[in-house]
Structure 1
Amino acid sequence: MIRIIPLATLILAAAVTTAAAEPARPALKQSATVTGDLVRIGDLVDNAGIVANIPIFRAPDLGQSGTVSAASVVDAVRGHAIIGLDTRGIVDVTVTRPSHMISGRDIQKTIARLLGNAYALGDSDEISVSFEREPRSFNIEPSASIEPRVLQLGYDARTGRFDAQLEFAGQRAMRWTGTAFPTVAAVTMVRSVGRGEIVRRDDVTIERRPKTQTERDTVAAIDAVVGRAARQALRAGSAVRGSDLMKPEVVQRDAAVTLIYAAPGITLTVRGKANEAGAEGDIISVTNLQSKRVIQGMVAADGSVIVQPGTPRVIANLEPAAEKRATQQK
């Protein structure tokens, strides 16, 4: 059986086929992102066809944006067989040229890395670089390599002076001079503390200092400082050395202390006075308040002073009454 298709249906199908076969009409874009120095028709116009790659304007500088009026675009494309451009009511088109910015900090890190590799100065993070004239930031194409071409690189280990000439993608050769030094981590005082004062976490920080300006026993770890006492006054901004620290003093000068003499089967205690301050484990001079004799002993954690056994002078310094008690215990 043969079906008869209504004429109206045939006419509608023909119209749809014809519409599908017609090319899309060129239309203006609201904004465009471009690479390179030129703006092309296809950057600004949708459905530009075979003329899409034809340049019509200069692009903004790297990292910059600009605008072009819709009327200017219509005039520019008219000579390239685009007639009746649909502007979609747009007045101005924004054109942006993205970039990758090379900052002064990037240049500093690059020179530190190059010097570290070429002259065995260590990792770039451990090298302090200072410029005679601070480098300015600049932009390169986002797709370009950020690694520069090294035209010249010199370094004097004695003075720390460097001379670097580098060329980044799309830029002319640039020269930088200055000084570079290997550095070490150093615990540095944030505030001043007095002799005997306990160093707290908020009192210190970590700074990197030129290796030539630090001493061999400069402390590099904060944990090695916090909780220790200052052997001498430490001023703010100074690097802390191991010799600047000591255990916290548990016995103060002129303080009353208990003298303890311990031997197998006997323990004697005598009142005394500390002739000098001392931390746990220190050997200090003390006075037996009963005999008025001066002896030496080791400071214990509880603040008492333990008289070392086996020293004839110690037994001689004991109070006679204490000797009597020792005899009675036998």
Structure 2
Amino acid sequence: MRRFVLAGLALLASALAAVQALALEAPVLRSQVAVSSDVVTVGDFYSNAGLLANVPLFRSPDLGHSGRVPADVVAERARAAGLSAAGTDGLRDVLVERQSIVLDADRLSALVAGALAGQAEDVRPEDLDIAFARTPQPVHVDPAAGDPVRIEQALWSRADGRFDVTVEMVTAAGPRKQVISGVAREMVSVLTLAQPLERGQIVSADDFTVMRLPRSRVPARSVTDPAEVAGLAARSNMRPGRPLSRSDFERPQLIARGDQVTLVYEVGAMRLTTKGQALAAGAEGDLIDIVNTQSRRTVTGTVIGRGQVRVGTAPRTVAALDETPAKETAQ
């Protein structure tokens, strides 16, 4: 008796597993369908469509368009096609969308820039600013085509920037050609100020921002890399909005004309100092004339820091003047 019970339980378990498997494999109607072909098939509408997946049920909407189909109509046609278990699965309708590639002005600009840049080794697509003679209207092209959009011919004069480009595209009506005309300007990224600068102010990378100008309008010696001028000083008061030139900057002046400075004399291991007055302004490394305030002699030295000038061999008078302070310092 116990053997019959166990056998019955085993058969029941097998039957339940079979029912569950059938339920898992049952076709399920999708609420939204996106297709790239001109027909919508059983497999587009239903998962688990099996061998009937490629059977067409409806024509697709136009490229880039969508529409709704009543779920009961979909189920009826699917059953007629042989999918006997097709149902509505609680849906009222199904949204069907026909995919497309939208060839608008932005995408066309990128295609044209790529084609024109390919004609010159020193030009990148991102360096070109494309302006169409007439703004092209968006066109839906077929993504299912092997080559939905391509540039058939590109004519470009770098002298004046004018171009004529023939574009071939595959639309719902089939292949189509269109000639696009306009001007492609070569652009250069240059630096301008992000904020005003005063004369003598030291600049850093944070003081700059980038602006793009046609190459023909870029002044000579324009700054394109912040590293070229970072750490230099503004020659004059400057405002944002114009391209910067290397001549706008100079090495920061560490000494101004008339400044009281320290003269540094180095003789071997001995270092002596005295006071002087600058007869000229100077940046680090500049040679300027200094009047020694003790001897009233004019000497020439190299600016080595703010308010400091290194001169040659120390005169005897300077050594005598600095001898006492040096001893006091040593104490």
TM-score of the superposition, structure 2-length normalised?
0.70
Q: Match of 2:215?
A: 211
**Residues 1:238 and 1:38: Cα distance change in structure 2 (over 3 Å):** same
Give the alignment of 1:178-257 within 5 angstroms: 178-257=182-261
Shift of 1:196: 1.0
Q: Match of 2:281?
A: 277
Shift of 1:68: 1.1
2:61 is aligned with what amino acid? A
Shift of 1:198: 0.7
Q: Distance in 2 between matches of 1:93 and 1:253?
A: 85
Q: Distance in 1 between matches of 2:136 and 2:72?
A: 42
Q: Distance in 1 between matches of 2:312 and 2:74?
A: 100
Q: Distance in 2 between matches of 1:43 and 1:168?
A: 27
**Residues 1:42 and 1:285: Cα distance change in structure 2 (over 3 Å):** same
Q: Distance in 1 between matches of 2:168 and 2:86?
A: 44
1:116 touches 1:123 (CA, 8 Å); kept in 2? yes
Q: Match of 1:3?
A: none
Name whichever of 254-263 and 264-273 sits farther off: 264-273
Q: Distance in 1 between matches of 2:203 and 2:266?
A: 34
Q: Match of 2:95?
A: 94
Q: Distance in 2 between matches of 1:215 and 1:158?
A: 18
Shift of 1:87: 2.6
Q: Distance in 1 between matches of 2:269 and 2:82?
A: 117
Q: Distance in 2 between matches of 1:200 and 1:146?
A: 49
Q: Secondary structure at the match of 1:168?
A: strand
1:147 touches 1:168 (CA, 8 Å); kept in 2? yes
Q: Secondary structure at the match of 1:243?
A: helix
**Residues 1:154 and 1:96: Cα distance change in structure 2 (over 3 Å):** same
Question: For each residue in 1:166-189, what CA deviation from the matched residue of structure 2 results, as whole angstroms up to 9, or x when unmatched?
Answer: 123337434433332334443332
Shift of 1:204: 0.9
Unmatched tracts of structure 1, length 5 or more: 1-8, 310-314
Name whichever of 191-200 and 257-266 sits farther off: 257-266
1:36 is aligned with what amino acid? S
Shift of 1:37: 3.0
Name whichever of 115-124 and 139-148 sits farther off: 139-148
2:72 touches 2:87 (CA, 8 Å); kept in 1? no
Q: Secondary structure at the match of 2:113?
A: helix
Shift of 1:126: 3.0
Q: Match of 1:168?
A: 169
Unmatched tracts of structure 2, length 5 or more: 1-7, 20-24, 324-331
Give the alignment of 1:1-330 within 5 angstroms: 28-44=29-45, 47=49, 53-62=55-64, 64-73=65-74, 86-102=87-103, 104-134=105-135, 138-144=139-145, 148-170=149-171, 172-260=176-264, 269-289=273-293, 296-307=300-311, 322=317, 325=320
Shift of 1:295: 5.5
Q: Secondary structure at the match of 1:173?
A: strand
Q: Secondary structure at the match of 2:241?
A: coil
2:49 touches 2:83 (CA, 8 Å); kept in 1? no
**Residues 1:289 and 1:27: Cα distance change in structure 2 (over 3 Å):** closer
2:101 touches 2:140 (CA, 8 Å); kept in 1? yes
1:145 touches 1:169 (CA, 8 Å); kept in 2? no
Question: For each residue in 1:26-85, what CA deviation from the matched residue of structure 2 results, as whole angstroms up to 9, or x when unmatched?
Answer: 8754332322233345533575976953453442532x4432112443676788788896
Shift of 1:197: 0.4
1:158 is aligned with what amino acid? A
Q: Aligned pairs, how many? A: 303
1:283 touches 1:297 (CA, 8 Å); kept in 2? yes
1:59 is aligned with what amino acid? P
1:56 is aligned with what amino acid? F
Shift of 1:215: 3.8
**Residues 1:117 and 1:262: Cα distance change in structure 2 (over 3 Å):** same
1:98 is aligned with what amino acid? Q
Question: For each residue in 1:217-254, what CA deviation from the matched residue of structure 2 results, as whole angstroms up to 9, or x when unmatched?
Answer: 32332223222212233321333322222222211333
1:268 touches 1:322 (CA, 8 Å); kept in 2? no
1:116 is aligned with what amino acid? A
Q: Distance in 2 between matches of 1:51 and 1:197?
A: 74
1:93 is aligned with what amino acid? V
**Residues 1:158 and 1:30: Cα distance change in structure 2 (over 3 Å):** closer
